[in-house]
Structure formats: C-alpha cells, structure tokens
Structure 1
C-alpha cells in the first residue's frame, strides 16, 4: 500500500475545497479490475458455459439489446461464486481502514445489480451500491453523471484501475489508483488529484510461464521418439522438423491448459492448491488470458502449416481430443484417464507424421496403456488413500474415496500390460531381436519404477501429476536413465 497523501485538486480543475478530516466525501469504488482482479461479466460467462452451455447461443441476441441487457440476462442465468473471486487484498485493507474511520463507502460498477449486490453483501463494507440495471450500463460517462447527480461535482473520491475510469475522475475530488499503468497514472493526474496508489504489480514472464505450464512442455518431447527409434538424430533436416513439431505441440498444449483454467475458474478457486494459479488468483486478468489464448492458437496454426498435412491432422485430432476432455470427458470416471493416455500417444504420432517415419503399432499400444496407468495414478493420488482429506478435484472428476482400490487395481494392471506389450514387441520384432534381453530388462525396471510410484501415492507422498513428480525425483531419474540406455543399446 502506498503512503496516503492529502488530496488537492490539480491546476485548472474545478473544486469547492477539501473536506476536513472527519467530514470526508464518500469513497466510490469500482468493481471490475479494481475491487476484484478480474472481469465479472467474463466470469459469469465462464460459469454460463459450464452450467448452461446452450445459452451461449443467446449471447449475440442479448448483446444486440445493449450491454446492460446482456449483463442482466447473463447474471439471471449464472453468477460466479463471490466468495472465491480474486479480491484486491491491498484495496480491501485500505477500505476497511477507511470504514473504521467512519467514511461512507459506495460500490459503483458497470456490473449488473444482482452481482454487485452479492459482492457488497459478501464484504459488508458498502453503504450504497450503484450498478447496471438492464437499461443503463453504468460505466464510463454514464457512471460519472450518476455520481455527480448523487454527490455533486468534486463531491466524491473514486477508486479505479482502468481507462474508462478517467471519465469518472474528471468529476472526482481525488483518485485512488489500483494497479495503474504509467499511462493511466498520467491520465488521472491530468484530471484530478492522486491520493493513494495501490499496486500489487503486474504479471511478468515467470507468471505467464507458470500459467501456461511451461514446466509441462517436457512431456512434448515424446514427438522426438520416432526420431530416436529411426536413428536420425544426426539428420539436420529431421531435427529442424522435429523441433518445429515440438513447438507446435507446446503451443497447442498450453492453449488447452489455459482454456481449461478459464472454464474451471470457480472450481480452481475452491481448490487448496489450484487457487494459487495466476489466473485463479487474479494475477493474470481473464481478458489478457483470452488474448493470449488467441495468440497461442495462431502460433499453433503457423507451426502446423509449415509441416506435412499428416502432422496438421494429428495436431487437430489432439486439440479436439483435449477440448472434449476439458469441456465434458474430464467429469467421466475412467474415460478421462483413457483420453489423457491417448493424448500422450498422439504426441508420438505427431512426431511420426511430421518426419514421415512409421512407428510400430506395438509402441503406440504400449504408450497408451502406460500413460493410461499414469493418469489413473494421478487420480489415485488425488483421492488421498493414505487417510489425508479427499481432494475436491478428484471428486469433481467423478471419483470418490471409495473408488481408490478400483483405480489402483486398474492402473497397476494397465501398467503391467504396457510392459507386456513392449516385451512381446521385442520378441516379435526382428530389428531388436539381438537386444531383446535389454528390452526385457528395461521392462522389469519400468515395472519396478511404476510399483514404487503407486506405493508412494498410497502413502500420500504424490499429490499431483506423477510425470512431474518423476522429473523431480532422483530415484526415478536414475531408473529412467538406465532404462533409456538399455532401450537405445537394444535398438
């Protein structure tokens, strides 16, 4: 929180003089991008898409009746949970201090009155609420006129954080700036006095990488499997194509992660760990996330058109599969894990299509079973069979605590089946006939590694993605290096 200063009007600004302490004018507070670090209309639309997706078709007709009518209809159909919205904590602290001094606080927002009332009721800070009512969109100039009519010219201070708030500051005694850009700070200074500046900082590269799951890009190295099995690591052209295929898959995967987080915002904010994700916490505004989502899709298309048609088709299939997972299948028990397993296998197929290298059906079956097993391991870990509280996200995916034994049994069998398929491949494939003993040894080590993961998950030591756990676990890395060396030697 910045240091509070005495408000005084800027040169040339009309003013009737400053109110003395104890008779301060009302402090009017905006909602979107100020009190909450998100856009309430977008939040409501995300809930609408989740709960009543067919109503999305009505959005253009509602918008044609005006933004105020759109907000009213969306609010009538669905509202976000105001208890979990990402509130601006520094501003809340400031408002509580002002309230304790006896100052009148007013919530004035372009959001619909239904949502604004829910927020005001939740916080218990505001003496009055002004909001859009289905006829008037209380934003920008309309908000300024309403506030002047209620409190008089220069008869209020106003807290805001967006370009539309400049119109309101023209008639305000002073401004409280919330996370302002340099240009917004300059614009506010030209029309009124700047008092408090509350700045939590803006999302940097590290924040965006966390949101886009940059640490998960290592999974997309599966596109290089055909390059390795074909012994073409020294081929510059093949390496370039594989690198481009990897980039395309990373962009596509990040777009799915981002879309999933947008759709699942209410659920993530109720989760003890996922509520810390940048989007759920409000560190990244939903509007910025939508813009980046569009850029990711454009980048994915650009990478795809530079590669063969087969790669484009596989990438399209991957995106379609993951969209099905995000929008529907991730709530279907067992089907969600199977789709995730297929998604990993499609990474290998994408590398095959990009390079024009055929991949054995044995390998694809093994991959699907292996990653199906790991996906079930993730669900098992979320169910906390060791006696810890059951993870709410596991319940929301259709699993209950009582399902843990079934999930473990199916997952273990799938992992064993994957290794059996690989062992049979070594027996049937002439190309690796001489090194089949190495392949079988690698299968046994992989089985040992998987059983260890299941045991750790049962002890509550794995609480999320087992692949990411393995990449941080020295024991898993050592086993993985030995198995990889054995498979390369066998090939």
Structure 2
C-alpha cells in the first residue's frame, strides 16, 4: 500500500519565511457552510426553484453551487466569522504576508467575503464549471503560486490532500480525529479550536423549554376530569413526546431558513446556528431524524392523532416557508397551531372536545400571537428601523395590532362567561357559579400580558414569558383553586 507523504514545493524554504497563507472559507473563515445556507435560503425565498435541484445535481456540484448563488443573496456582513482566526490574519497581513482565499464555495460569495474583510490578495473559488475542492483546489493553488511553498488553513478531512503538500497545516475548527491524523501526516502550525457545543447548546437549538407549550395536549384530560385514568394519561404522554419531537424539528427548520434574518436581530443572532456555535449541517441532518421518531411514536396512538400530527407539520412547514410573512394570516396560523395541540390531546385520548374549549383557545392564542408580533415590531423599531425582518408588518401597524390583540384576549373572557352560563357546565361541576371568579383572573392576566408587551418588557415568545412570570403563575394557581372549589 502506497502512503502519500508530506511534500513541500520548495524544501529549502525556512519555516520562518513569510510564505503565502492560503485560507479556506466554509467552516474555517466562517463558522458555517455557505452551500447549505444558500440552499435553505432558496427553499425559503424561492421554493419553486427546488424542483430544478435534481437537474443541477446531475450537472455537478459546481453547477449546483452557481445556481443557488444566483438565487440567494446571503448577508455577507452578518456571517458568523471566526474572529480569532481573523485577528490572526490581520496580524499576518500587517507583517507583509500574502493571504489567499481558496474555497469550494461559489465565486460570488468568495469575492463578497474578501471585499468585506479587505484582507486577501487573491481569491480562488468555484465557478459554474469547476468545483474547487480537494485535488482540484491543490492544482489551482500550484498553478497560481507557480509551484511555490504555502501554508494552508482549513477544517475538513477533504483538505488533507492539500495539507500534505503545504509547508504547514493550520487547523481551524478541526475535530480530535482529524487533528491526530494531521500530526502524523503534516507539519502542524497554529491551531484554532471551535467552541465546543454541549447538551445545553443542543437544548437551546431544539427549544426544549418550548415543549411546555405541548402541555396543552393534557388540557382535554383536565377538562374531562380524566387524570386518574392511567391508560388515558399514558396515551397523552406518548402524544406529548411525539408532538415535542416534531416541534423541535420545526424549530430547527425555522432557524435554518431564517439564518439571515436572525443574524440581524439583536437577540436571535445568538441562536446556536445563526451564531455558528452549531454546524448547520448537523441541524439539517437532525430534522429528518426527529420527524421519523415522532411519527414512529404516533403509530402507537389512534389514527386520528397521526392525522392531526401530520396536519400540524404541514401547517408549520407552510408557516415557516411563507405564511409568517403574511400579515394577520400569520397570527391566525399561530393561534390555530396552539389549538391543534388541544385537538391532538383529544385525538390521542378519545376525549370529545367542547366547542367552548376550542373557542376559548383560539381567542387567547390569537391575542398572544399578536402580542408576539407587537414585541418584534417594538424591538426592531428600537434597534434598526421600521419593520421586523421576514414579517409582513411595519411600525405603523402597532396601534391596530394592539387593539386587535387586546380585543381577542377580552373575547376569551366573554367565551368563558358564556360557558359558565351554558348547560354543559353542570355535567362536570357541582358549583358552576363559583367559576365566575375565574373571569376577573383571566381578565387581569390578559391585561398584564399586554401592559408588559407595550412597555417593551415582553419575551420574544409570550408563552415562555407566562411560564417564567410570577404574576402569571399566581393566576394559574388561583384558577386551579377556583376550579377545585367548583367541583
């Protein structure tokens, strides 16, 4: 078996000589992959173009990259740059060293990055005919440098063929296995380690804290007083797990299609994928795994639950890819998605749902969805101007949104009052008149939500705010006490 050893174009070059430093782009200069980013952006902004993907792939990766780049304008200034590496490159540049950007990314993005940073003396990148990766990149470098020596900074296993011919291998964001290989194969230079992502980073990406929303699946059990039935509770628990896994897949998808918009948001830019703390390829691979797990669990539940789960996913996919950009239709969709969780609970347990429960749910969650949009408008107006990115609203929409949101919230109190007066109430409560005390509690809570929103103190998600807010917790406890006393 032949082993390819490390060779340098000019062995006489001293290791202290300032030979050109060649720098890779994806995963090295930026903590991201511009091919995957451009694919998700096209899926978001021009989904009809995706039908052409098979033809582009048949024509080769160079064609695929060129076609995606033609349709996707990435926010180059907002990319998650490797600041430690850039600081190093600036110092090398100040010392008179030649810097070359050599990347398999399309030339459009490569030149935009080079122009933004102002560091590189030359740019070598893929075009519509050539995918500049591996051996092809090495050949292009040799031709550009007339066979001269160079150092090479990169992050991936595909770069080993280039490192073997570089004077020094500069490892950036390389894993332990690759680092061990390179110690044996090449002369190691500087190393730049990636910030290690732990379970907490993945918990943020999967939005584990958002799983609390899926507690709505248990609402039908509470309303029907079925919590003592172990079998019914077990079915609801399986539904909760399936729904949570599917919801996390949607959160990942949202983060990947919204990368550009999130990076311009003062808080969302710190999300794991937008900030580069997690590789976006890992997120893209996790999505189908979560979907498959959710639907496998759903097989143990009634067919109606499977149908509700599928409806939820289709609706969330439509929301992620377009509905959230349509004013008013977006908040109606959000309210519907919350109500679907309650319907899912009924489908999983076989409990018949009350009209009153569904009407109450739509009213409350429509109000909270509008509070969410008002919060986004207030944040973007304060930090960068008129409108929240990727949304169909402008700053002047704040007054009508506030009016519509509070009206929807107070409508829920009216629905609750009508329910208390309905014949249905006597089926479950011995003292239904005592439930009237719940009306002022709900009225106070809705008013508190909107006062907090308009003061600019609301969390990005009002549901998360309510789960953490002491006043909201007190309202829940009071509500539970009132319902208990009405039994």
In which range does the TM-score fall when normalised by the shorter chain?
A: over 0.9
Of 464, 476, 479, 2:475 maps to 479
Question: Structure 2 matches for 1:387-406, cutoff 5 A?
Answer: 388-389=382-383, 394=388, 396-406=390-400
Question: Structure 2 matches for 1:188-337, cutoff 5 A?
Answer: 188-337=182-331
Question: Structure 2 matches for 1:366-445, cutoff 5 A?
Answer: 366-384=360-378, 388-389=382-383, 394=388, 396-428=390-422, 429=424, 430-432=426-428, 434-445=430-441
Give unpaired runs (5+ residues) of structure 2.
none
Instruction: State yes or no: 1:451 paired with 2:447.
Output: yes
Q: Quick one: structure 1 residues 216 and 393, their matched pair in 2 at CA, closer, same or farther if it must change by over 3 Å?
A: farther
Q: Distance in 2 between matches of 1:213 and 1:385?
A: 21
Q: Distance in 2 between matches of 1:150 and 1:190?
A: 28
Aligned-pair CA distance for 1:424: 1.2
Q: Quick one: structure 1 residues 388 and 153, their matched pair in 2 at CA, closer, same or farther if it must change by over 3 Å?
A: closer
Of 69, 73, 84, 2:63 maps to 69
Q: Quick one: structure 1 residues 129 and 234, their matched pair in 2 at CA, closer, same or farther if it must change by over 3 Å?
A: same
Instruction: State yes or no: 1:78 paired with 2:46.
Output: no
Contact 1:72 1:134 in 2 (8 A): yes
Contact 2:150 2:167 in 1 (8 A): yes
* Range with bigger deviation, 389-398 or 308-317: 389-398
Aligned-pair CA distance for 1:387: 8.2
* Range with bigger deviation, 233-242 or 428-437: 428-437
Contact 1:390 1:401 in 2 (8 A): no
Q: Distance in 2 between matches of 1:400 and 1:350?
A: 34
Q: Distance in 1 between matches of 2:146 and 2:183?
A: 20
In the alignment, which residue of structure 2 is the partner of 1:347? Answer: 341
Instruction: State yes or no: 1:171 paired with 2:165.
Output: yes
Aligned-pair CA distance for 1:212: 1.2
Q: Distance in 1 between matches of 2:389 and 2:164?
A: 51
Of 152, 174, 180, 1:158 maps to 152
In the alignment, which residue of structure 2 is the partner of 1:3? Answer: none
Q: Distance in 1 between matches of 2:459 and 2:232?
A: 38
Q: Distance in 2 between matches of 1:272 and 1:455?
A: 22
Of 345, 351, 354, 1:357 maps to 351
Q: Quick one: structure 1 residues 82 and 388, their matched pair in 2 at CA, closer, same or farther if it must change by over 3 Å?
A: closer
Q: What are the Cα deviations for residues 426-453 of structure 1, in whole angstroms up to 9, with x where unaligned? A: 2111224533233221121111111122
In the alignment, which residue of structure 2 is the partner of 1:460? Answer: 456
Q: What are the Cα deviations for residues 333-378 of structure 1, in whole angstroms up to 9, with x where unaligned? A: 1111111111111101101111111121110111011110111111
> 1:380 is paired with a residue of what secondary structure?
helix
Aligned Cα RMSD in Å?
A: 2.0
Q: Distance in 2 between matches of 1:381 and 1:271?
A: 12
Q: Distance in 1 between matches of 2:263 and 2:70?
A: 22
In the alignment, which residue of structure 2 is the partner of 1:142? Answer: 136
Q: Distance in 2 between matches of 1:188 and 1:395?
A: 43
Aligned-pair CA distance for 1:22: 6.7
In the alignment, which residue of structure 2 is the partner of 1:186? Answer: 180
* Range with bigger deviation, 83-92 or 394-403: 394-403
